Structure 1
């Protein structure tokens, strides 16, 4: 009997030792945080029916695994946000600030309580306007740069099919959340229609008329600094002509990933019916004064000063994850 008791005791000790070893290993592999940091942003969060300035809470030395509470003290107000326990751990969390909009630089104090300990961080939050962000879903048309032309065309044509399906699937969403797709260059549309059967053509034009698909006027992202007036007009001809055959007008154009846009583009696009231009020139070379106009809409007068084109320019950065 003593021998059996000793056997069970030894087995229990070995099991306990194994559990402790695994726990220590896990703790060493996933250590808990040792300090916190606050990172102010210009972003806003929807919180309890209101817009609240957002500050990021960063955990250093490890993640937050155990239950915790983040107490915020800001602008004469206080609030608390519970942080749940999680096996994966929390490395960053976005906190909605309490109180009224920030009108002057104000100090924020956050105290995180967990496991009987308290961690404190401070930062200064400056005023920032409430942003309204507009998204333009599209895939950049750069024929042959990231892949052979045939593969690029196949991806773009598939994008149109998927966009129509997604737009139809999201029609029950709130108006601003319904999916829309921008074709960017008519080269994509031209080839899509050439390969489509009658059913797909009808579905495409129906999607355009419903606003699910937007057609831009330029045939491709052309370096307009090396084109003359006749070439500029030809740049819009196919798109405008095809749209008119279906009772539609095109009034937008996109030009991306080229050094810039020549001045003649303002008058030629106006003659064609294009009224809105989004330019996204290269980010680092041959771009002149473009950075000074980044993200600032302006009216671009034609050389004769008779017509104006509403333009917006933003620097174009190629993402390695772009779909092309």
Structure 2
């Protein structure tokens, strides 16, 4: 290994151990020993990280409603093309896409030709594309009647024979309490909340999983995730796998240090 002026980082692969043990790290220059220190090697945790790709919907922040809609319809077209392009890839490498909100999907079903709708149905059936059921990422302004009406696209999806069992609330921390009743009645089983701490308090220092139970006793599995751009913070979009790998490993070490109890996590990007 060649050392450069300043800080140097190297990854050294060592065999996996089943129990904690000690070894010695030695740095030599030629035959001269420059540094030696005992190191502790612990059993490694076998992680599964799911990378969840979607387009964040933030109407008005970047463009007007009509311009945003055109783009979101096109994103679904692109997702279908990427699914086609990766059909022959190994299963974990096949392209997958999550439609963050139901508004764009509902409009897609109204305006795209039958051939394109058939492609979408097939990918949903395969599990390559998933529909989330929130109409938009709602703040605290809509009343209960508005939020109840926002679930209307679920009926539209099911009339097309397409499954929708997940709700995503991204960028808005928290969610209307009434949804704990509405989701259960609508067949929505899971809630994912991608947080944003720019102008809000993030009340946990690690992702949390819990049963969200309504006053009447209905419940759904909820995942309070990291930022909805967590994968982008790793640099997944920069085509630099070495840097991406380093940041992912550092993040998993942070989860361990925070006593995150599970061996599975998700990173949206």
TM range (shorter): 0.7 to 0.9
- The TM-score, its normalising length taken from structure 2, stands at 0.72
Contact 1:279 1:314 in 2 (8 A): yes
Match of 1:33 in 2: 3
**Largest Rg, 1 or 2:** 1
- Identify which of 299, 309, 313 aligns with 2:224: 313
Q: SS at the partner of 1:280? A: strand
CA drift at 1:279: 0.8
- The TM-score, its normalising length taken from structure 1, stands at 0.61
Match of 2:128 in 1: 212
CA distance in 1, matches of 2:207, 2:29: 42
Unaligned runs of at least 5 residues, structure 2: 238-268
Match of 1:297 in 2: 209
Contact 2:17 2:44 in 1 (8 A): no
Unaligned runs of at least 5 residues, structure 1: 1-31, 35-59, 63-90
Q: SS at the partner of 2:118? A: helix
1:67-78 correspondence to structure 2 within 5 Å:
none
CA distance in 1, matches of 2:78, 2:184: 32
Q: How many residues align?
A: 233
- Identify which of 121, 144, 147 aligns with 1:232: 147
Contact 1:277 1:310 in 2 (8 A): yes
Contact 2:184 2:219 in 1 (8 A): yes
Asked if residue 202 in structure 1 is aligned to residue 109 in structure 2, the reply is no
Asked if residue 283 in structure 1 is aligned to residue 197 in structure 2, the reply is yes
CA drift at 1:221: 0.7
| Cα deviation code 1:67-112 (max 9, x no counterpart) | xxxxxxxxxxxxxxxxxxxxxxxx64432222414x4474651536
Match of 1:264 in 2: 178
CA drift at 1:136: 0.9
